[in-house]
Chain A
Amino acid sequence: MSFKGGWLNIKEENYTEADALLRYVLRLGDDALITGQRLAEWCSKGPVLEQDIALSNMALDHIGRARLLYKYAADLAGDGKTEDDFAYLRDTQEFRNFLIVEQPNGHWGDTVTKLMCLDTYNFYLFDGLTKSADAQLAGIAQKAIKEITYHAQWSAEWVIRLGDGTEESHQKVQASLENIWPWTGEMFEVDQVERMMDEAGISVNPESIKDAWNTKINQVLDIATLKRPADCWMQTGGRKGVHSEHLGYMLAEMQFLPRAYPDAKW
């Protein structure tokens, strides 16, 4: 069973609320899956054993959330698709995750900085989603918010440790921050899906998250003795299925087995 067009071919302006909801749930699932997949790459490579375990825990959280979201999407699609169909049988243009989550892990500083940006965003997003008009989404958010809170604390603490650690760590993490900054803007974009979901009381308006996010990030960077990067041109495209070169490689690795053995059940 694979996706052969169909659901992709509906034009934005013709979305029904159901179309928008399916897409909304899927993009959240994609964010979670790709984040989890990147975190899983750290397994056995962490700077200290205890942190290896911490990262694996977080990867499990993200991938677990992806499953819940994909299962819900499968229900919404209502045509017999499964969570694994969404994860393993879509090509890059059908994935709608943010560009930031597919950026490579880099070194420890790069990873915790990226996570801080993402986790802080997720915290405000999922906190809002606990009050979603969509009961399923609210339920998923209620399950997720506890672990997301933990993630946001964890990554902020690490940015602080590195920012206010040694001269070397300070320089490294400042560079990490400058490098990831152009990918943070996408998180606050409002497109047709976001507009419709917001109107229906289902989602949280990204622009409303932006203020809270900026305040929190500034607070953390201040404690970390780090400089907030200057405003810059923000990268975009993930929500439209226009990805960086990284996603193709990630999917090739992730999807290899079901695609190589299409008759097999995995």
Chain B
Amino acid sequence: MGETHSLEERFQQYVEAENKVEPKDWMPEKYRQTVIRQVSQHAHSEIIGMQPEANWITRAPSLRSKLILLAKVQDEAGHGLYLYSAAETLGIDRSEMIEQLQTGKAKYSSIFNYPTISWADMGAIGWLVDGAAIQNQVMLCRTSYGPYARAMVKICKEESFHQRQGYEIMMHLAKGTKEQKAMAQDALNRWWWPSLMMFGPSDENSPNSAQSMKWRIKRKSNDTLRQEFVDKTIPQAEYLGLTVPDPDLKWNEERKSYDFGEMNWDEFYEVVKGNGPCNKQRIENHINAHNEGAWVRAAASAYAEKQAARKKSTAA
């Protein structure tokens, strides 16, 4: 009993001294489970996040924008893969994580439960959703679990292109024809609040936040990240000549920061629960792709086994 207690204390000192935890290190079981949950859910978000954007690849309005969008979605697949790999170092299988996603045991970022109904959504998602993700991700580059931190560094390097791509689309639309500008404003109207909700509930309502912060898994609070995002993004919206759909938005001279309105937390919890516009379809698509691919994966395994057997018999 005394042994374990001191191990946990030592672990706490270790992470507080900004040391990295690596796969074979001793760690509290709850730490391991927390990191698995966070990393796998981050991976799921990247993968599910491919769908709303892949939705517009075949309809991209120029060859250049088609290429850029395809490359972006491919990046997201790659990010999911880095993160699944990082989670696997903690003893969970990819197929187990996939099952958790498909049965709803694991969550993914709720923002992807909203539909992409216009080309301007590609701009808004890159600008706001990736923008919000970057806010979170830069912080995670200093997370205590080594493989996660390294995956995040790689992801951050690639992410800045995503946000720029989105903002470039918004600029192009905002300075285009009347219809294009209206398309951009409409996208901002629909994606603003869900983007703010990406940072999660206020920390007082977030049960795991405190422990995650203690273990240096999470480095900044939800509210801090959200405020930083708002302050960074408002000038960008102003530059576009678009209006942020928040009547309570106001510069606070004292705090040197923006005051903003109250979020619709009812909507947030409903969407998280599974009642968003696209929850069912996102998961169904994932399940279908996975099931339809089973015979392919089985064939590749079978072939690999045959090849291995052949190599053995020729060597014999």
Could you list which residues of chain A lie within 8 angstroms of chain B, going by C-beta atoms? 33, 37, 40-41, 43-50, 52-53, 56-57, 59-60, 63-64, 66-67, 70, 83-84, 87-88, 107-109, 160-162, 164-166, 168-169, 172, 250, 253-254, 256-258, 261, 263-266
Please give 14 more A-B residue pairs, beta carbons under 8 A apart, in addition to A83-B63, A253-B59. A43-B70, A43-B74, A44-B50, A44-B77, A45-B288, A48-B293, A56-B77, A60-B74, A67-B67, A70-B63, A88-B62, A166-B295, A168-B295, A254-B58
Assuming the A-B contacts A56-B77, A256-B59, A261-B177, are A43 and B50 also in contact, with contact meaning beta carbons closer than 8 angstroms in the complex? yes
Chain A residues with CB under 8 Å of B211's CB are none
Q: Contact at A161–B66, with CB atoms within 8 Å?
A: no
- Cβ–Cβ contact A87 & B63, under 8 A: yes
Asked if B166 is at the interface (CB within 8 A of a chain A CB), the reply is: no
Residues on B with C-beta less than 8 A from A109 are 296
Please name the residue on chain A nearest to B293 by beta carbon.
Answer: A47
B299 within 8 A of A: yes
Closest to B66 in A: A63
Judged by DSSP, the binding face of B is helix
Q: Pull 20 A–B residue pairs with CB atoms less than 8 Å apart, ordered by A.
A: A44-B51, A45-B289, A49-B47, A49-B81, A52-B74, A52-B77, A53-B81, A56-B73, A56-B77, A63-B63, A63-B66, A88-B61, A108-B292, A108-B296, A161-B299, A161-B300, A162-B299, A165-B300, A169-B298, A263-B177
Beta-carbon contact of B54 and A84 below 8 Å: no
List of B residues within 8 angstroms of A88 by Cβ: 61-62
> Nearest chain-A residue to B80 (Cβ)?
A49
Q: Are A53 and B78 in contact (CB under 8 A)?
A: yes
Chain B contact residue count (CB 8 A cutoff): 46
Closest to A112 in B: B296
Q: Which of B288, B289, B294, B299 has the most CB of A within 10 A?
A: B299
Say whether B306 faces chain A, with CB atoms less than 8 Å apart.
Answer: yes
**Complex: A43 Cα to B76 Cα, angstroms:** 11
Contact B74 A257, beta carbon cutoff 8 Å: no
Chain B residues near A41: list those with CB within 8 A.
Answer: 58
Look across to chain B and name the residue whose beta carbon is closest to the beta carbon of A63. B67
Rounded to whole angstroms, the CA-CA distance of A162 and B58 in the bound complex is: 28
Q: Quick check: A47 and B61 within 8 Å, CB to CB?
A: no
CB of A266 within 8 A of CB of B58, answer: no
Residue B7 is within 8 A (CB to CB) of chain A in the complex: no
Distance in angstroms between the alpha carbons of A168 and B177 in the assembled complex: 54
Residues of B within 8 A of A (CB): 47, 50-51, 54, 57-67, 70-71, 73-74, 77-78, 80-81, 84, 119, 172, 176-177, 179-180, 285, 288-290, 292-300, 302-303, 306
Q: How far is the CA of A57 from the CA of B74 in the complex (A)?
A: 8
Q: For B74, list chain A residues within 8 Å (CB).
A: 43, 52-53, 56-57, 60
Closest Cβ–Cβ distance, residue B46 to chain A (whole Å): 10
Q: Give the residues in chain B near A162, CB-CB below 8 Å.
A: 296, 299, 303
Contact (Cβ within 8 A) A169 B299: yes
Complex CA distance for A253 and B290, rounded to whole angstroms: 26
Q: How far apart are A185's CB and chain B's nearest CB, in angstroms?
A: 28
User: Are the C-beta atoms of B63 and A67 separated by less than 8 Å?
Assistant: yes
Smallest Cβ-Cβ distance to B50: which chain A residue: A44
C-alpha spacing A256/B67, complex, angstroms? 17
Task: Select from chain A the residue with minimum beta-carbon distance to B169.
Answer: A266
Residues of chain A lying within 8 A (CB to CB) of residue B289: 44-47
Contacts of A263 in B (CB 8 A): 177
Could you tell me the distance between the alpha carbons of A44 and B53 in the complex, rounded to whole angstroms?
10
A63 proximity list for chain B (CB < 8 A) = 63, 66-67, 70
Q: How far is the CA of A169 from the CA of B297 in the complex (A)?
A: 10
A-B pairs with lowest CB-CB distance, top 10: A47-B293, A165-B299, A169-B299, A266-B61, A257-B61, A56-B74, A43-B54, A47-B296, A44-B50, A44-B54
Determine the chain A residues whose CB is within 8 A of the CB of B77 once the complex forms. 44, 49, 52-53, 56
Contact A265 B66 (CB under 8 A): no
Distance between Cα atoms of A46 and B303 in the complex (Å): 19
Q: In the assembled complex, which residues on chain B have CB atoms less than 8 Å from the CB atom of A250? A: 58
Nearest B residue (CB) for A254:
B58
Give CA–CA (A193, B177) in the complex, Å.
41
Q: Which B residues lie within 8 Å of A49 (CB)?
A: 47, 77, 80-81, 84
The answer to whether A84 and B296 touch across the interface, beta carbons within 8 angstroms, is: no
Cross-interface CB contact of B119 among A83, A107, A160, A257, cutoff 8 Å = A257
Nearest-neighbor residue (CB-CB) of B68 within chain A: A60
- Closest B residue, CB atoms, query A172: B295
Which among A44, A50, A265 has the greatest number of chain B C-beta atoms within 10 A?
Answer: A44
Q: Is the CB of A257 within 8 A of B177?
A: no
Q: How far is the CA of A160 from the CA of B145 in the complex (A)?
A: 41
Contact B293 A166 (CB under 8 A): no
Q: How far is the CA of A256 from the CA of B118 in the complex (A)?
A: 12
